[in-house]
Chains A and B, each alone.
Chain A
Amino acid sequence: MDATLRALNRFGLGARRGERQKIGDGRQWLRAQLDGGPPSLAPPDGVTATAIGDALRAVRMGGQGNDQERRQARRHVVEMSQAEMHAALTARITTERPFVERLVAFWSNHLCVSTGSKIIVAPLAGSYEREVIRAHVLGRFEDMVLASAKHPAMLVYLDNFQSIGPTSRGAGAGQRNNGQRRGLNENYARELLELHTLGVNGGYTQQDVQELAKILTGWTINGLNGPGARLQPANQPRRRGAPRQAARRDPDGPIEFAFIDLLHEPGTKTVLGQRYSQGGIEEGERAIRALCRHPSTAQFIATKLVTHFVSDEPPAAAVDRVARVFRSTDGDLKAVARALVDDPEAWREDARKFRTPQDWFVAVLRALGASDASPNAPVVLRQLRQPVWSPAAPKGFGDALQEWADPDSLLNRGELARTIAKQPAMRALDPQSLADVVDVPASNPLHAMLADTSIAAPERIALAVAGPAFQWR
């Protein structure tokens, strides 16, 4: 494959027409994108922390509101969620730094939340990507994981917000109305080890999971009726030097992170041989940083990155090189991304990746020059089986050929390509100009089809992006 096109497709999000001639050296073009600072993205109009908090409280009124009010509140939540998805997709379609946006999508999926899991997560997924992923995608891995651990979307998605130290002073306050007592919830601690840092074979035990869960008790949220909501602020002794947010509980404010010392499990905990005690919120912060610096984490992350960028069967040499950079820089994600670009294996002729549905959809719209994700893009991606921020499980979406290239999905792409190509905005598009973004040899029948004016233009456009060459990056 043409190296410039490879830079645009493999590392980027798909070539736009004419871009191949403009970007110069592919590697330089990619490296330059890493130097532009964090890729910020403004929230959609009307989606503020306060609006989200109000809408979610309205949904959770329970028996107090009437059905119509609840339905309306739910609709509002879904609208905010869809607006966030639309904004994120539009960023991918229009970005001038597609390598960085691909990295955002990668890390967002690595530390995924799912809007399909709980209604509370749905409107928060956008701010999660902005505040956790975008803020740190070119920064330090441990800062990203720590931000993730403290974001309400993750705290709710993996239940840590309702995890209570079994012998903590606040344990009694965690009783539900029906008398059922809540206690330790291991979900987040487990996935933090299994999926976010060390990996499932990274060398930890069930005991480590439990101890880590205890360390993370008290990490919860403000703004909803969480387990500590009925605790009066006066009951919460503020530790010397503890962050001020720890002392405030506002059930009507924005939904945000809170550390409640009363719910924190006292005593000494041991994770991977390291002891943690009497540290309050700092126990968890230290533990998460230690997990991020564990050698298994470097290996796990490097394997996943090389698999994503190079091949379903990642070359061991490339994994080792990327892991070494991850370790030697303490998880500097910019240096790690650069190592991927610099790796010779990433440019091998025989390496290629099948485009996931989101990848394909974004690449199509970039190739066709779209300026916006259409409003129904989130729905379309659901139909393609890869809805935005909504994987079926905390492991996120996979990116291997065998997960996505089933027969029906190829046909779906053909159908969708036809629908997109028929839109009025495509009338000005010369089908032959698409030869620029599809990498096929001159002998390939696609060239003749694109030039064959007896075939309607929308059909020729659809053939370019529904054909097999466009399914790969």
Chain B
Amino acid sequence: MKRRDFVRTMCYGGIATFGLPVVNFAQVQQNGRFVFILLRGGFDGLAALVPYGDPDYRALRGSFAYNASDLTTLDDTFGLAPGLSPLRALWDANQLAVVHAMAIPHRTRSHFDGQAILETGLDRPAGSADGWLNRLLQVMSGTRSGIAIAAGMPLSLTGSYQVESWSPTQLGSVDDAFLERLAVLYRSDATLQNRFEAALQQQELVGEEPMARGNARRGGITPLMQAAAKILRQEHGPNIAAMEFSGWDTHANQGMAGGALDRLLGQLAEGLVAFRNDMGTAWQNTTLVIMTEFGRTARPNGTRGTDHGTAGAGFVLGPRLAKSAIVADWPGLSSNALFEGRDLKPTLDTRAVLKAAIAGAFDLTPAQLDRVFPNSATIRAVPGLMA
């Protein structure tokens, strides 16, 4: 029996009904898709969204200073790094907001603490806290489900709301006969039966060869983004996804155009464009937010890299944006303007961007937003970001 036939005959429930209440088609907004991508390691916002027009830029960045001609310029001040040039298409289509001088609400240069703040959505560390995406699932009404499309379970998605997962790792090869027998066994367990069937259907959806597990395992961003699109474009697929990519902690040999960081940015941009293409019509309801735990030092260090800093850049993508925009209360790069004399100064709270993005994606009330982000009543969603 071919896998396709097998899955068709074996699955009664599957991904569409797993863990979900009765589907309510009336709530069109709930068909929105929201993807939160965490760039772990602290990516260098000044090297990605380049403030080439800032009068202090060249002196500050020294050997890391780009010329305008190297960049995809967005206005007189900012340009996208060479690797990010594929995002030009999204910018032109009013589907890209670049956010700058943004930081988490708690000052730390520790990856661990910074990621925890970003992922719990709190304004201070609290070791027992749930992830903010999980709280979003708890707070939203109507049809909803969350999925981690990652090798691990990101903290942002952990909590009391049951979520699904799809990981690019493959731990062994299984054939249809084995899965069929296993499915027979799982039918004797009322608690696990639906989950196992959902797993089979999910696997069928993404496919094993050649794109999904194999390539994604080798670390490419694009195969993982394509797998994500296959899962998220389903009519009844999950509407909240957490993803993560690492390799951004560029202490040494960060490089310029074509260098280590720029190549990684290039992979990210390609992955995002592939995701948009593969989402098909579902792209119209999709919003992505890309953030990192902190920016990096404004000046290059002694090993041709940058060290842990404070404010950095991020991205919001998707057709639900009001328009393409640079979202920044730009603090400038003069010595006096730098935070503690060394980092880009934070002028925008990550939660202001996240609140705006999820409110636009799912039609949430301010009260709901404040439950997703406790102690954030004074942090207003960025106005005019989303349509």
Contact A401 B191 (CB under 8 A): yes
Q: How far apart are the CA atoms of A398 and B127 in the complex, in Å?
A: 13
Q: Which residues of B contact A179 (CB under 8 A)?
A: 341
Shortest CB distance A406–B (Å)? 5
Identify the closest chain B residue to A464 (Cβ). Answer: B185
Contact B195 A415 (CB under 8 A): no
Shortest CB distance A307–B (Å)? 13
Identify the closest chain B residue to A445 (Cβ). Answer: B184
Contact A191 B152 (CB under 8 A): no
Q: How far apart are the CA atoms of A191 and B152 in the complex, in Å?
A: 24
Number of inter-chain CB pairs below 8 Å: 152
Identify the closest chain A residue to B297 (Cβ). Answer: A178
Q: How far apart are the CA atoms of A247 and B170 in the complex, in Å?
A: 53
Q: How does the 8 Å CB contact mask read for B93-131 relative to A, with 1 for contact and 0 for none?
A: 000000000000000001111001000100001111100
A468 within 8 A of partner (CB): yes
Q: How far apart are the CA atoms of A468 and B151 in the complex, in Å?
A: 23
Tell me the interface secondary structure of chain A in the complex. helix
Task: Kindly identify, within residues 386 to 420 of chain A, every residue whose CB is under 8 Å from any CB belonging to chain B.
Answer: 392-395, 398, 401-403, 405-412, 414-420
Q: How does the 8 Å CB contact mask read for A157-189 relative to B, with 1 for contact and 0 for none?
A: 001000000000000000000111000000100
Q: Which residues of A contact B158 (CB under 8 A)?
A: 392, 398, 403
Q: Which of A383, A393, A398, A408 is B116 in contact with, Cβ under 8 Å?
A: A393
Q: Which of B152, B195, B202 is A392 in contact with, Cβ under 8 Å?
A: B152
Q: How far apart are the CA atoms of A427 and B357 in the complex, in Å?
A: 55
Contact A419 B127 (CB under 8 A): no
Known: A190-B127, A468-B188. A414 touches B162 (CB 8 A): no
Tell me the interface secondary structure of chain B in the complex. loop
Known: A392-B158, A414-B179. A468 touches B167 (CB 8 A): no
Q: Which residues of A contact B302 (CB under 8 A)?
A: 63
Q: Which residues of B contact A445 (CB under 8 A)?
A: 184-185, 188
Task: Kindly identify, within residues 407 to 466 of chain A, every residue whose CB is under 8 Å from any CB belonging to chain B.
Answer: 407-412, 414-420, 422, 440, 444-446, 449, 455, 459, 462-463, 466
Q: Which residues of A contact B215 (CB under 8 A)?
A: none
Q: Which residues of A contact B235 (CB under 8 A)?
A: none
Q: How far apart are the CA atoms of A431 and B164 in the complex, in Å?
A: 32
Contact B128 A195 (CB under 8 A): yes
Contact A406 B189 (CB under 8 A): no
Looking at A117, A195, A408, the one whose CB has the most chain B CB atoms below 10 A away is: A408
Q: Which of B167, B184, B191, B200 is A385 in contact with, Cβ under 8 Å?
A: B167
Shortest CB distance A117–B (Å)? 4
Task: Kindly identify, within residues 161 to 205 of chain B, every residue whose CB is under 8 Å from any CB belonging to chain A.
Answer: 162-167, 169-174, 177-179, 181-182, 184-186, 188-189, 191-193, 195-196, 198-200, 202-203
Looking at A116, A195, A415, the one whose CB has the most chain B CB atoms below 10 A away is: A415
Interface size on A, residues (CB 8 A): 59
A282 within 8 A of partner (CB): no
Q: How far apart are the CA atoms of A420 and B185 in the complex, in Å?
A: 19
Contact A407 B167 (CB under 8 A): no
Shortest CB distance A290–B (Å)? 21
Contact A406 B165 (CB under 8 A): yes
Task: Kindly identify, within residues 73 to 115 of chain A, every residue whose CB is under 8 Å from any CB belonging to chain B.
Answer: 114
Identify the closest chain A residue to B150 (Cβ). Answer: A385
Q: Which residues of A contact B186 (CB under 8 A)?
A: 410, 467-468
Contact B174 A446 (CB under 8 A): no
B372 within 8 A of partner (CB): no
Contact B162 A383 (CB under 8 A): no
Q: How far apart are the CA atoms of A67 and B340 in the complex, in Å?
A: 29
Shortest CB distance B216–A (Å)? 13
Q: Which residues of B contact A117 (CB under 8 A)?
A: 111-112
Task: Kindly identify, within residues 311 to 344 of chain B, every residue whose CB is under 8 Å from any CB belonging to chain A.
Answer: 340-342
Q: Which of B127, B155, B174, B198 is A191 in contact with, Cβ under 8 Å?
A: B127
Task: Kindly identify, within residues 242 to 298 of chain A, every residue whose CB is under 8 Å from any CB belonging to chain B.
Answer: none
Shortest CB distance A263–B (Å)? 20
A330 within 8 A of partner (CB): no
Q: Which residues of B contact A411 (CB under 8 A)?
A: 174, 196, 199-200, 203
Shortest CB distance B150–A (Å)? 9
Q: How far apart are the CA atoms of A230 and B192 in the complex, in Å?
A: 58
Looking at A114, A394, A420, A455, the one whose CB has the most chain B CB atoms below 10 A away is: A394
Q: Which of B113, B151, B165, B184 is A409 in contact with, Cβ under 8 Å?
A: B165
Contact A393 B127 (CB under 8 A): yes
Q: How far apart are the CA atoms of A411 and B303 in the complex, in Å?
A: 44
Q: How far apart are the CA atoms of A62 and B185 in the complex, in Å?
A: 56
Q: How far apart are the CA atoms of A422 and B127 in the complex, in Å?
A: 41
Contact B173 A415 (CB under 8 A): yes
Shortest CB distance B167–A (Å)? 6
Known: A407-B196, A415-B171, A444-B188. A385 touches B178 (CB 8 A): no
**Contact surface of A with B, Cβ cutoff 8 Å:** 63, 67, 114, 116-118, 159, 178-180, 187, 190-191, 194-195, 200, 380, 382-385, 392-395, 398, 401-403, 405-412, 414-420, 422, 440, 444-446, 449, 455, 459, 462-463, 466-469, 471
Known pairs A117-B112, A393-B129, A408-B202; list 8 more (Cβ under 8 Å). Answer: A63-B302, A194-B128, A383-B169, A392-B153, A401-B191, A415-B171, A469-B188, A471-B192
A-B contact pairs, 6 of them (CB 8 A): A392-B158, A393-B120, A408-B164, A418-B174, A459-B181, A467-B185
Q: Which 6 A-B pairs have the closest CB atoms?
A: A419-B172, A407-B199, A468-B189, A394-B127, A415-B172, A467-B185
